[in-house]
Amino acid sequence: MTDKERYQKVFDTVSSFGMEHLEADKFMKKTKKHAYMGTAAAIAAALLIAGSTGVAYAANVGGIQRTIQLWIHGDQTDAELVIGENGEYNVTWQKEDGSAQTIGGGGIAIEADGTERPLTDEEIMEELYMPEVEYKDDGTVWVYYYDQEIEITDMFEDGICRVKLINGNDTLYMTVKYDNGYSVSRDKYPDPDSFN
């Protein structure tokens, strides 16, 4: 079953419960004389809505789904984050042309003793807010970090560029190897020989 089919199934289920809730409201208006019947209908409607939340969660195969604010090329946009049971995630947002864009990531961290564990929500968000490097068709190279757009085209020396990124109290040191990856550290500029 594709993600689109899962979402459709979830919203079909939730909307059908919403219709039953509206019918319960109409019933309560018609029977004002019998207050105890209205109270019983309200309790039934509340249970029905609470039950629909459980159905929506189950239809998402146990994952966590929520709307987040994400920085895409210097612009903040709403995105849908879905975190699977094993920590893997997918983020989907609408591009300016109206089409959907999706990125995803692995879901594990390797501890010092070699054991694997699912990423925490905080680790996933930290990964999503890492800087991004883009090589444009016009030959320019750009770094995007939160609301910052920095052209680094002329900052390369022997194929290496170092950029200090500041967002509030958070400082990152970034080393970019031209067309061959980049690395980020909170302490110092990463050694370009240590990655890729």
pLDDT tens-digit map of 8-38: 555 454 444 444 444 444 444 444 444 444 4
Q: Has residue 65 got a pLDDT over 60?
A: yes
Q: Which pTM was predicted?
A: 0.56
Closest C-alpha to 155, from 178, 132, 179, 173: 178
CA separation for the pair 53, 13 (Å, rounded): 10
5 pLDDT higher than 60: no
- Using one digit for the tens of pLDDT, what is the confidence trace for 82-136? 887 777 888 888 888 888 888 888 778 888 999 988 888 788 888 888 899 999 9
Q: Where are the domains of the chain?
A: 3-59, 64-120, 130-196
| pLDDT level of residue 137 (50, 70, 90 thresholds) | very high
pLDDT at 83: 82
Write the pLDDT tens digit of every residue in 150-172: 999 999 999 999 999 999 999 99
pLDDT, one tens digit per residue, over 34-52 is: 444 444 444 444 444 444 4
In this structure, is the dihedral angle defined by the CA atoms of residues 183, 185, 190 and 195, taken in order, positive or negative? negative
Quick one: which of 177, 178, 170 has its CA closest to 193? 177
Higher per-residue confidence, 53 vs 82: 82
Cα dist. 99→44, 93, 95 in Å?
40, 8, 6
Distance (Å, whole) CA 61 – CA 162: 43
* CA atoms within a 13 Å half-sphere pointing along the CA-CB vector of 166: 2
| pLDDT the model gives residue 3 | 53
pLDDT tens-place string over residues 73-83:
777 888 888 88
Does 60 have pLDDT greater than 60? no
